[in-house]
Amino acid sequence: MLIETAAKPLVWITGAGGFIGSHLMASAPQFAPGWRVRALGRPQVDLLDFTSLEAAFRQEFPQLIIHCAAISTVADAKADPALARRVNVELTRFLAGLAADCGFVLFSTDLVFDGRQGQYRETDAPNPLHQYGETKAAAEQVVLTNPRHLIVRTSINGGVSRTGNRGFNEQLRQALQMGRGMTLFTDEYRSPIPVMVTIRVLWELLHRQCAGLFHVGGAEKMSRWQIGQSLIRRWPELADRIHEIKPGLAKDFPGPPRALDTSMDISKVQGVVAEPVPGLSAWLEAHPHEPF
């Protein structure tokens, strides 16, 4: 996907201020020392100003675009469906078109599935339940038209963010610290993964010049409740607040329909990367002192 040269190839990273994007930027010296990385977004350029975006591309000629920018929550996409389509679909289409002859990576989501099956493979057909999933599924179809391009479809990522509230672990910890408590569903399953594992896998896929669609989630299918129990054991200073975490059923949730099991089969990526992708429980046990 990207050939290293003496001039150091340029990589654009959109959404570099976000959770995954910021970790990509920070990890580049370790995982991609032969490449130059540039954060792309405000204040550098307005990503929705396609004229300025194209001018920047023609001036800099990046050899790879890693596209992390998105309207990335179900609630935000529902609140402004037009903006969600503009950012998630039309911006993706424009960037992928600019990168027609070079590398392009789209970060997508397990929420393109309806959650009725679980352990989804890359060959399973998306069937999203909401606007967010619909826009990401549409973006995937755009990217898949180019056989050189790559899609990383991931699940919920955990870790340390700049704002302290982007990882699923941070959201739970913050709720406990503020005394808000939280209901965690026992019937909603995902493939939780530490963000640094996602980042490591993405860089390796690029080094191996992989293309197409890859599921990159944790190797362990876990309910929201199971995730919470694993994390609480890591925070002994909050043990006296464990009673504030309550089990519940997503099917009884009064909001819009929720995909109950979007866990992913990751055998395809496991067959490519040198170091196996762990499950969340195994990773937590192996990294007892890692901030999480």
Given a contact cutoff of 8 angstroms between Cβ atoms, the answer to whether 230 and 281 are in contact is yes
Range of lowest pLDDT (62-66, 158-162, 202-206, 267-271): 158-162
Please compute the mean of the pLDDT values over residues 194-200 and round it to a whole number.
Answer: 98
Burial 8-23 (b: 16+ CB within 10 A, else e): ebbbbbbbbbbbbbbb
Q: Which two tokens stand for residue 122?
A: 């890359």
| Inside any domain, residue 291 | no
| Inside any domain, residue 183 | no
Structural domain for 103, as ranges: 10-160+194-219+264-272
| Inside any domain, residue 178 | no
Given a contact cutoff of 8 angstroms between Cβ atoms, the answer to whether 44 and 25 are in contact is no
R_g (Cα) of the chain, nearest Å: 19
| Inside any domain, residue 18 | yes
Given a contact cutoff of 8 angstroms between Cβ atoms, the answer to whether 68 and 13 are in contact is yes
Which of residues 233 and 154 earns the better pLDDT score?
A: 154
Per-residue pLDDT tens over the stretch 239-289: 888 888 999 999 888 877 899 999 999 999 999 999 999 999 999 999 998
Please state, in angstroms and rounded to a whole number, the distance separating the CA atoms of residues 27 and 9. Answer: 16
**Most distant CA pair in the chain: distance in Å?**
58
What was the pLDDT predicted at 3? 46
| Inside any domain, residue 278 | no
Task: Look at the chain and report how many structural domains it folds into.
Answer: 1
pTM of the model: 0.94
| Inside any domain, residue 174 | no
- The average confidence (pLDDT) of the chain is 94
Per-residue pLDDT tens over the stretch 132-147: 999 999 999 999 999 9
Please state, in angstroms and rounded to a whole number, the distance separating the CA atoms of residues 38 and 267. Answer: 32
What was the pLDDT predicted at 5? 47
CATH number where 131 lies: 3.40.50.720
| Inside any domain, residue 153 | yes
Please compute the mean of the pLDDT values over residues 39-67 and round it to a whole number.
Answer: 91
Can you tell me whether residue 185 is helix, strand or coil? Answer: strand
Please state, in angstroms and rounded to a whole number, the distance separating the CA atoms of residues 72 and 68. Answer: 9
Q: Which two tokens stand for residue 147?
A: 């056989």
| Inside any domain, residue 180 | no
